[in-house]
Structure 1
Amino acid sequence: MNSLGDDCTELKKQYDACFNSWFSEHFLKGRHDDSLCAPIFKIYQDCVKRAIREQKIELREIDSDINTGEKEQQKPDHTKS
């Protein structure tokens, strides 16, 4: 899957590869220090934040959509006896 911004896709791939390696080689063996991928994640995160600003995506709208979906899923089902 590509990243939100085209400029960020390569960074996403690098972070995904780092995370997958860390998860299988460290986390699953009980070593939970995640500092190995932190520098790559920070660069990728900054790129995504920049893409969000450039594309004028309002995070409040996204949060609202998510919250609405959660509320709809939590409505009681009155069809059951």
Structure 2
Amino acid sequence: MASISPECTELKRQYDECFNKWYSTKFLQGDVTPECDDIFRLYRGCVWKAIKEKNVDQLINDARKERPFKDDEEVDVEGSSSS
């Protein structure tokens, strides 16, 4: 499956491959040590860049104003927790 932006698709493929390998060979065996964080951060950055370029970030912010998180935890538009 392609990503939100063609520029992000290769990073998505790399992350999916890393995650699926980690999940099947490590996580299911009880090893929860993360192994794909670096590629995930790169992919997430690419996705958020595309979201901003397409002005989807404003739609996300508007939706969050209309329907705040139930636990009152504030999350910024880029997905990191601020509490």
Structure 1 residue runs without a partner (length 5+) = 68-81
CA-to-aligned-CA distance 1:17-76 (integer Å, 9 cap, x gap): 000000001000000011x10000000000000000001112135558x99xxxxxxxxx
TM-score, with length taken from structure 2: 0.70
In the TM superposition, residue 5 of structure 1 has moved relative to its aligned partner by 1.0
Larger helix share, 1 or 2: 1
- Asked which structure has the greater CA Rg, the reply is 1
Moved over 4 A (4+): 61-64
Residue 4 to residue 39, structure 1, CA distance change in 2 (3 Å)? same
Greater RCO, 1 or 2 (C-alpha within 8 Å, sep 6+): 1
| Aligned-partner SS, 1:60 | helix
Tell me how many residue pairs correspond in the alignment. Answer: 66
Tell me which amino acid in the other structure corresponds to 1:49.
W
Partners of 1:25 and 1:10 in 2: how far apart?
22
Q: Give the aligned partner of residue 15 of structure 2.
A: 15
